[in-house]
Structure 1
């Protein structure tokens, strides 16, 4: 497991207690090893970041982005974050809230496909 900033432990707990509706919808499809028996964690601290969902066995991060991620400043931060996570060998999938809420099955299918690829590649 990747190291993380211990100061993020409490904020990650708070985020788990206060998930957005889109995060709750996606979590209902990821929890309890529903996709290929893969364990996902929610609001997981990794390095100096807290990711929305993390599957360590597949080295996969899933982010659910709200409207604030459309701001230029947020996009720069997201890019730096994604680059850091990629340097750690992780693949980051990003979906916006509307995608998750309106196309839940399609989002879960994309995650499923990436899990298959990541788990079959040594």
Structure 2
């Protein structure tokens, strides 16, 4: 009794494109999963900073609306406490520049009867 290998070879030839396709899809899937793993490993976790509250809570704050009303009515003097280079680049129209480091030594130059609004941004 003789067995023939021909049917098995034909069957293998028929399956080859399917096997090749599955192998290709598998390789693509593995590559994609590796890319995802590497991409996510490069991202550092963002640590949230604790809420420390408002710095200097004893200093009175001015809302944007209040500052705008004071600006429009000219009832306040706006003092830019940034350095002179920052002030020269951009500042509120009509504001004066007294850098924070020397502010206390210039207090006597400011009128006592006007609202003084300090800003730094």
Same fold (TM over 0.5): no
Give the greater-gyration-radius structure (CA): 2
Q: Looking at both structures, which has the greater relative contact order when contacts are Cα pairs under 8 Å and sequence separation is at least 6?
A: 1
Please identify which structure carries the higher helix content: 1
TM-score, L = length of structure 1: 0.30
Please identify which structure carries the higher strand content: 1
